[in-house]
Structure 1
């Protein structure tokens, strides 16, 4: 299945996620939510899974997607994902490049 392949590597997850997100034009919110829910649920797990490959573009998309598909139904899940992302390597540097929409969403 595609979801199993997505988690074999972070780059696989990123490809699938960005295709679903479609620069904010996502038409399949349930599938986008499922994709976000594939991410490791522990801080250590997410940091290890992401490694050094998190980009400002992907961070922005993840934050906005979490606001759109996780926050309404499960705000604790959205907050947890954002907390785990904040521990990723280079997060502080990348966060400087996000726009106001992402900062508001977080």
Structure 2
């Protein structure tokens, strides 16, 4: 299964999130993000528009992922260098791999990364 991990600022819109997922390669069957972001209206609306459900990922699972991108701000808040990359990997399960590093939406308010589970 392909999972789109997302990170986003409070000002992000559903369009920000959809754009980030599209730029990351799309084709996901699930969205994933940190627990504290999972209830955001923009995320819930983006998920509805894309016909996807949202999986929440806890801080310990985020911190356990090896990610290629490093943001000090994100590391301090979520325990990982990239929320999008770590959420995608954690939700895709053991042995998952990223299609590539996270990408940023055109408005700069959201990031996304696509992970592929080992069964794909």
TM superposition score normalised by structure 2: 0.27
Higher relative contact order (CA 8 A, sep 6+): 2
Q: Which has the higher strand share?
A: 2
Q: Which has the higher helix share?
A: 1
